[in-house]
């Protein structure tokens, strides 16, 4: 069997050989060009430099002699130091040229040059001693001979440079011709493989892709007709077998799937909660009967349309989706939304919940969002019950204040000695009645405050006050409670705190509640810290105890109504809930921090005036 892998390896090997061949030949040709160019510089350029230096020295010597002759045989005018330097310059370059003989005939000219130069120096020496025109004419003739010999060396090397440059240019043309031929052959062979082999590989892949696309659209009657003796043939055979089995499976299970789909739609349709099913592109896929009744929309009219398009034409649907349609972002599923809706001229209450549906991947890759489910749950009866409960608490609490006032008045009268002395037993009973009356009064006041927070009718008297005044009010009212447990209070007020904008009575109530709780959990002879400081545009109040601390999971719900923590909870679980409502209604914030075994810190902050 001809393996597809073998064919691909042969193709890659051929391409590798072509690249290797072009690289080797290119390197050889470049080496030839480099060698020829190097010879031009190495062999002849130095000879030209030597001849130029010798001509310079020769001209200098001859000029010195001419100047001496013009000065009428004044030997003292001759610069002997300069003459020595010029003679040395000529001799050094002549010796260097003797060692750099590279061209034919160059050695003979150098031999003649040495003889002529020696004669030139001899004549110049005699002319300096005796003078006379005869020596001057002989010196000039010999000067011309020496110069001619130097020029001969220069011409030989210049012609050599020209010849070698022409040779390098010829070599470059030859290299370019060979490279063009080799590249053309390589391209023709590569194009032949490119024209044949990709088609051989890609044709069945394209055909397979189209068939798979057709199967993904539900057309299982697909078959590949490509035949081959390699792996592609095996792939074709397996695909044909797969499509046949899929067709059989589809025929057996399509009816079951349709039945299950209709059953699921019937269940969702009959639910009392309104359900909207949205795809990942925020298009409406389905809405059940309850959703149609609430919004007045029909599934046939909105199916496939975008949420934004439907919201533009339906005010109620737009109100339901308020804050959830954000272009380019997923729907906000972080929290449930509570909304009122008028149905049949009666206000009903619904909670809106958005559930993000994700497709899990067995390979543990991140799940992708495939849609959303919006659920509107009718909580009208729960809201009505809650309202009735709040009204009942408010009514009962208010009604209880009248008999409590009478009881307090009666206790004061009984304690008045003008009405007679009470026995010790009667005094203890009266003290117990007073404590229970105070406890009952506190409970009634808490219930009234709770009713206010539940109904949203918190009456605030916002004014300008100072943090130290609030702390003084709170500590003064709790001095007896603190002294009973012999607790030390460490009070810290940051200097220069600005005034705050707050309801003094309710803010003092909050601070008193926090200090009371801290005293309750602080052991006798313990330490309690109360401080106030500036935090941005707010003033922060903090109460820190050294109690047992609060569990992390309890910190998340400690400000909820009727929440009691610990093994021996005290109170009704309303104090912190009311404190939170009082603080948030004044545009503030309240929170708690705690570590088991080290204590807790309760803090709230209110805006600067």
316 and 177 housed in the same domain: no
More confident residue, 567 or 58: 58
CATH number at residue 294: 3.30.450.20
User: Is the predicted pLDDT of residue 142 greater than 80, yes or no?
Assistant: yes
Number of domains in the chain: 4
Least confident among 286-295, 440-449, 546-555, 596-605 = 440-449
Q: Does 595 map to a domain?
A: yes
Count CA atoms closer than 13 A to 101's CA, side-chain side: 12
Least confident among 26-35, 263-272, 323-332 = 323-332
> What single string gives the DSSP state of each residue in 76-142?
GGS-HHHHHHHHHHHHHHHHHHHTT--STTHHHHHHHHHHHHHHHHHHHHHHHHH--HHHHHHHHHH
d(CA 271, CA 342): 20
Q: Does 254 map to a domain?
A: no
598 and 549 housed in the same domain: yes
- Tens digit of pLDDT for each residue in 563-594? 676 655 555 567 788 888 888 888 899 999 98
3-class DSSP state of 359? strand
Buried-state track 231-249, b at ≥16 Cβ within 10 A, e below 16? ebbebbeebeeebeeeeee
Q: Give the contacts of 395 (CB within 8 A, at least 6 positions apart).
A: none
Q: What pLDDT does residue 606 have? A: 92
Q: Does 78 map to a domain?
A: yes
What percent of the chain is predicted at pLDDT more than 70? Answer: 74
294 and 423 housed in the same domain: no
Q: What pLDDT does residue 456 have? A: 57
Q: Does 26 map to a domain?
A: yes
| Single residue among 378, 403, 429 that ends a domain in this structure | 378
371 and 390 housed in the same domain: no
| Single residue among 136, 169, 190 that ends a domain in this structure | 190
Position 373 confidence tier, pLDDT thresholds 50, 70, 90: confident
- For residue 382, the cross-strand partners are none
343 and 395 housed in the same domain: no
State which of 49-63, 300-314, 360-374, 382-396 shows the largest mean pLDDT. Answer: 49-63
Sheet of 488-493: strand order equals 488-493, 527-535, 538-544, 599-607, 589-595
360 and 397 housed in the same domain: no
User: Is the predicted pLDDT of residue 33 greater than 80, yes or no?
Assistant: no
487 and 553 housed in the same domain: yes
CB 94 within 8 A of CB 114: yes
363 and 467 housed in the same domain: no
d(CA 396, CA 387): 14
| Domain carrying residue 15 | 4-190
- Tens digit of pLDDT for each residue in 243-302? 777 777 766 666 676 777 778 777 877 777 888 888 888 888 888 887 887 788 887 778
Q: What pLDDT does residue 364 have? A: 57
> What single string gives the DSSP state of each residue in 192-260?
HHHHHHHHHHHHHHHHHHHHHHHHHTT----------SSHHHHHHHHHHHHHHHHHHHHHHHHHHHHHH
Q: What pLDDT does residue 74 have? A: 47
324 and 185 housed in the same domain: no
Position 72 confidence tier, pLDDT thresholds 50, 70, 90: very low
Tokens at residue 101, please?
A: 């003989």
Tokens at residue 29, please?
A: 């040709």
| Single residue among 412, 436, 454 that ends a domain in this structure | 454
User: Is the predicted pLDDT of residue 502 greater than 80, yes or no?
Assistant: yes
Report which of 267, 276, 328, 264 is spatially closest to residue 302, judged by C-alpha positions.
Answer: 276
CATH number at residue 426: 1.10.287.130
User: Is the predicted pLDDT of residue 389 greater than 90, yes or no?
Assistant: no
473 and 602 housed in the same domain: yes
d(CA 367, CA 357): 10
Q: What pLDDT does residue 608 have? A: 92
Backbone angles phi, psi at 600, to 5 degrees: -135, 155
State which of 307-311, 341-345, 435-439 shows the largest mean pLDDT. Answer: 307-311
More confident residue, 389 or 431: 431
Name the pTM for this structure: 0.38
Q: Does 204 map to a domain?
A: no
Q: What pLDDT does residue 78 have? A: 46
- Mean pLDDT of the 403-407 span: 71
- Tens digit of pLDDT for each residue in 172-228? 777 778 778 877 877 777 777 777 666 666 677 777 787 788 777 767 677 776 666
Q: Does 195 map to a domain?
A: no
More confident residue, 540 or 169: 540
373 and 419 housed in the same domain: no
Q: Does 210 map to a domain?
A: no
Q: To the nearest whole number, what is the mean pLDDT of the chain?
A: 76
CB 514 within 8 A of CB 603: no
Tokens at residue 414, please?
A: 């009984």
Task: Find how far residue 540's CA is from the centre of its chain.
Answer: 35
469 and 502 housed in the same domain: yes
Position 530 confidence tier, pLDDT thresholds 50, 70, 90: very high
User: Is the predicted pLDDT of residue 73 greater than 60, yes or no?
Assistant: no
More confident residue, 511 or 6: 511
More confident residue, 386 or 418: 418
- Mean pLDDT of the 316-330 span: 68
Least confident among 92-101, 401-410, 566-575 = 566-575
Q: Does 412 map to a domain?
A: yes
Q: What pLDDT does residue 219 have? A: 72
Q: What pLDDT does residue 532 have? A: 92
Q: What pLDDT does residue 328 have? A: 58
CATH number at residue 144: 1.20.1440.210
d(CA 270, CA 90): 119
More confident residue, 159 or 235: 159
Q: What pLDDT does residue 602 have? A: 93
- Mean pLDDT of the 586-607 span: 90
Q: What is the DSSP letter of 8?
A: H
CATH number at residue 532: 3.30.565.10
Report which of 502, 521, 512, 520 is spatially closest to residue 475, judged by C-alpha positions.
Answer: 512
């Amino acid at each position: 069997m001809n393996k597809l892998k073998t064919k691909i390896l042969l193709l890659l090997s051929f391409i590798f050989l072509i690249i290797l061949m072009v690289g080797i030949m290119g390197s050889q040709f470049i080496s030839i060009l480099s060698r020829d160019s190097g010879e031009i510089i190495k062999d002849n350029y130095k000879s030209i430099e030597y001849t130029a230096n010798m001509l310079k020295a020769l001209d200098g010597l001859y000029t010195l002699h001419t100047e001496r002759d013009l000065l009428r045989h004044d030997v003292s005018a001759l610069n002997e130091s300069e003459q020595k330097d010029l003679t040395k310059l000529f001799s050094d370059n002549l010796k260097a040229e003797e060692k750099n003989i590279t061209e034919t005939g160059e050695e003979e000219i150098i031999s003649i040059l040495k003889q002529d130069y020696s004669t030139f120096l001899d004549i110049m020496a005699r002319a300096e001693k005796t003078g006379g025109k005869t020596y001057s004419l002989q010196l000039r003739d010999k000067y011309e001979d020496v110069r001619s010999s130097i020029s001969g060396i220069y011409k030989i090397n210049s012609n050599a440079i020209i010849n070698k440059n022409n040779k390098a240019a010829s070599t470059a043309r030859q290299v370019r011709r060979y490279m063009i031929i080799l590249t053309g052959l390589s391209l023709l062979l590569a194009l032949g493989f490119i024209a044949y082999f990709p088609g051989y590989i890609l044709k069945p892949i394209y055909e397979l892709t189209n068939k798979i696309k057709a199967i993904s659209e539900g057309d299982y009657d697909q078959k590949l007709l490509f035949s081959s003796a390699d792996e592609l043939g095996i792939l074709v055979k397996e695909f044909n077998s797969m499509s046949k089995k899929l067709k059989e499976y589809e025929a057996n299970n399509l009816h079951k799937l349709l039945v299950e789909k209709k059953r699921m739609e019937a269940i969702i349709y009959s639910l009392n909660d309104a359900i909207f099913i949205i795809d990942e592109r925020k298009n409406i896929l389905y809405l059940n009967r309850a959703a149609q009744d609430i919004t007045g929309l029909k599934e046939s009219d909105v199916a496939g349309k975008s949420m934004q398009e439907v919201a533009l034409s339906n005010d109620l649907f737009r109100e339901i989706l308020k804050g959830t349609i954000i272009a380019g972002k997923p729907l906000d599923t972080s929290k449930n939304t509570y909304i009122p809706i008028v149905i049949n001229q009666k206000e009903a209450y619904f909670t809106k919940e958005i559930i993000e549906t994700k497709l899990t991947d067995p390979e543990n890759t991140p799940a992708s969002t495939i849609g959303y489910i919006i659920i509107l749950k009718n909580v009208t009866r729960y809201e009505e019950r809650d309202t009735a409960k709040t009204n009942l608490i408010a009514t009962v609490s208010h009604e209880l204040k009248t008999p409590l006032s009478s009881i307090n008045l009666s206790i004061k009268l009984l304690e008045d000695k003008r009405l007679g002395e009470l026995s010790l037993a009667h005094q203890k009973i009266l003290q117990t009645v007073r404590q229970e009356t105070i406890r009952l009064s506190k409970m009634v006041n808490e219930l009234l405050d709770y009713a206010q927070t539940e109904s949203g009718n918190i009456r605030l008297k916002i004014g300008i006050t100072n943090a130290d005044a609030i702390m003084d009010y709170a500590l003064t009212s709790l001095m007896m409670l603190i002294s009973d447990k012999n607790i030390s209070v460490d009070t810290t007020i940051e200097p220069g705190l600005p005034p705050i904008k707050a309801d003094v009575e309710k803010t003092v109530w909050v601070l008193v509640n926090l200090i009371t709780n801290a005293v309750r959990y602080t052991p006798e002879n313990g330490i309690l810290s109360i401080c106030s400081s500036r935090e941005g545009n707010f003033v922060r109040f903090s109460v820190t105890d050294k109690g047992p601390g609060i569990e992390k999971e309890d910190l998340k719900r400690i400000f909820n109504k009727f929440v009691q923590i610990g093994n021996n909870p005290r109170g009704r679980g309303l104090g912190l809930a009311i404190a939170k409502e009082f603080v948030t209604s004044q545009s503030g914030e309240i929170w708690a921090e705690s570590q088991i075994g080290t204590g807790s810190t309760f803090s709230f902050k209110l805006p600067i005036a």
